[in-house]
Structure formats: structure tokens, C-alpha cells
Structure 1
Amino acid sequence: MSEDISEQLVSLLPKLRRFATGLTGNLSDADDLVQQSCEKALRKQHQWQPGTRLDSWMYRIIQTTWIDQKRRQRSDTVSLDAEAVPETRDPRSEKAAENQNMLDRVSQVLKLLPEEQRVIMLLIAVEGRSYQEVSDMLELPKGTVMSRLYRARSRVQAELGSSDGPGQGSEHYGEKTQ
């Protein structure tokens, strides 16, 4: 791998780890998944096309590696422990306890989502990707991405008891429509 690509890969590690944590549910498994995915990327570097987005390629590798692992394990559930989510609490915040409570509730709701919805929710709401980027990354029609995200948001809102109806309050999820 060229030095430039190696540097790019290293700079992507925090984002890759965050994405993997959302998939696996804990930091240890996420670290293993990122390591396996990076190793796979290094072995198959000839498949990456210079001039394309390295992050998109890596997200796809992580997702397929995760799916392969799940198929091997024949496991139907993935746990997302509150401790697995990176610490976001600001001890100076007057609402730190309330924010932590909401983070814990959202973490629990995320593990209830079907994997295809959770992946899209993580890429769009957490990573800030656009519908088109996710569509390209996952090789899905843009409409499928949008409908899965809608169903995921609706489920999250229902589980959290949101007063906003589905489709409302999308700014809370970091929606990018470009």
C-alpha cells in the first residue's frame, strides 16, 4: 500500500472503530473487526481504485466482514452495551446525567433494529453520510436506503416515545439529502 493510502487508512481508524462498535455492540469485538478489515484491505489493496473514496471502501469491507462473521456464528442477536459507546459525557454539563440516560436508551433501541436498518442508521445518522453515499457504499438503490432509514427512525421514535411523528424532526438524526 502506498504511503498516502496508509496515512489515509490510519486517519480513518476512529471512524471505522465507531462504525464497527455500532455493528458489534462492544469495543473489543469492534477492534477485532477493524483489525480484520484493515488486514483484508491490505491484502486486497489492488482492488481499491485510486481516486475513489477510501472510507467508503473500508465501510463496505467492515460490513461484509461482519456479515461473514455472523454467518459463521449463526447468531441472531447483537448486543450493544452502553459501555461500548464511546464516552460523550461532559462532566461540566448540567445535563450530563440526562444525556447519559438518553444515550443509554438510544443504545438499547439500536440493538432492537434489524441489521440492515442499523447499518444505514449508523452510516447516515452517526457518520453523517448522504443517502447517495450510503447507496453507493452498500450497492443498494437510493430508495431502499431511504425506506430503511425511515423505518429505523420510526422504530427509534416509537421506542423512545418521541412526540414527533415519523418523518418529523429528521434534523435530530443528522440527515443529509444530497
Structure 2
Amino acid sequence: MDEIAAEIEPLIPSLRRYARALLHDRDAADDLVQSTLERALTRWRLRRPGGDLRAWLFAIERNVYLDQRRRAVRRGHAVDLDSRGPIPDSAAGPERSLIARDALARLDDLPEDQRSLLLLIGVEEMSYEQAARVFDVPVGTIMSRLSRAREALRHSVEAGRTTVLRRVK
């Protein structure tokens, strides 16, 4: 068991970061990571020896997340996404900080598979091959999905939200 813990432990911060990016809630993210680790430990014997442990754990985490999301939709449970705080970025100017905040807000508007893929590649710095293992699709599919996701996000940020002004008397 100590050997398993030694392999998994260095990956927990990445799992936690990905969960927080998906859920925007620290407690829910910790619960997701806990469920992921529990599932990984109970299915350790099913892991391919010599396989990519990081991709395997992220695939489990994504599947647990999707299961929880489907369950919440069936229950009609609403999740408050506006509880996020501002994004600290002291090195960037205020304009860049606003663009980053808008991009992250727009990220939530993307379909789940595009959002997950952008987070895995952009935030977790997974290779296309690792992401392909997480999504269980060919690398070429990952590349085309990533291109569409980036384009959708770019278009959403550039289009911006239109503000409707009212006349106040």
C-alpha cells in the first residue's frame, strides 16, 4: 500500500487543481478528489502495468465528475458558479486581468467536453497523447476538438457580452 501511495501522492495537487477548475468550489473539489482516489485504489488491480498513471487518474476523475453531474441534473440540483472570487494576477495589468476573468467566465459557457479538454491541455499541461487516453479517443480527435474549443473560446471572448442600456428618468 505504501508503494501505491508513493505513486499517487505527487499527483494529488494536479487532481485537486483540475477539480477546482471544474467545480469552482473548494469543498466539492476535495470531495471529487477523494472519490477519485477511492475509486483508483479499489480498482488498482485493473490498471495497466507500466501505463500512464497520471492519465489514468485524470480519466477516473473526469468520469466521477461526469457521473456526479448527471446525478445532479437528474435531481435538479443547481450549482452556484458565481461564488468564485477574483483571479489574482499581480504581474498583469488591469486590462489583462479583466480579459483573463472574462475568458474564465466564458470557459464555463463551453460544453463540458471542450472545457475539460482546455483545462487538461492548458492548465494541467497534459500532452495530446495523455489527453487522448483520458478521453479514450485518438490523438487526431483531441487535436480537432482542442482547435474547436480554442476557437469557440476565442470567439466568445472577442464577441463579448452586449450590454443593454435603459433610459432612467
TM-score, structure 2 as length reference: 0.80
What secondary structure does 2:50 align onto? coil
What secondary structure does 1:52 align onto? coil
The answer as to whether partners of 1:26 and 1:84 remain within 8 angstroms in 2 is no
Note the residue ranges of structure 1 that are not aligned, 5 or more in a row: 163-178
The answer as to whether partners of 1:25 and 1:78 remain within 8 angstroms in 2 is no
Q: What's the counterpart of residue 174 of structure 1?
A: none
CA deviation digits over 1:22-41, x for unaligned, max 9? 22232221111001111111
Structure number with bigger Rg: 2
Match of 2:133 among 132, 136, 142: 136
Partners of 1:159 and 1:145 lie apart in 2 by 21
Q: Compare 41-50 and 29-38 and name the one that shifted more.
A: 41-50
The answer as to whether partners of 1:33 and 1:66 remain within 8 angstroms in 2 is yes
Q: How many residues align?
A: 157
What one-letter code is carried by the residue in structure 1 that aligns with 2:5?
Answer: S
The answer as to whether partners of 2:59 and 2:133 remain within 8 angstroms in 1 is no
Q: What's the counterpart of residue 101 of structure 1?
A: 98
Q: What's the counterpart of residue 7 of structure 1?
A: 6
Q: What's the counterpart of residue 67 of structure 1?
A: 66
TM-score, structure 1 as length reference: 0.76
Partners of 1:9 and 1:57 lie apart in 2 by 11
CA RMSD of aligned residues (A): 2.5
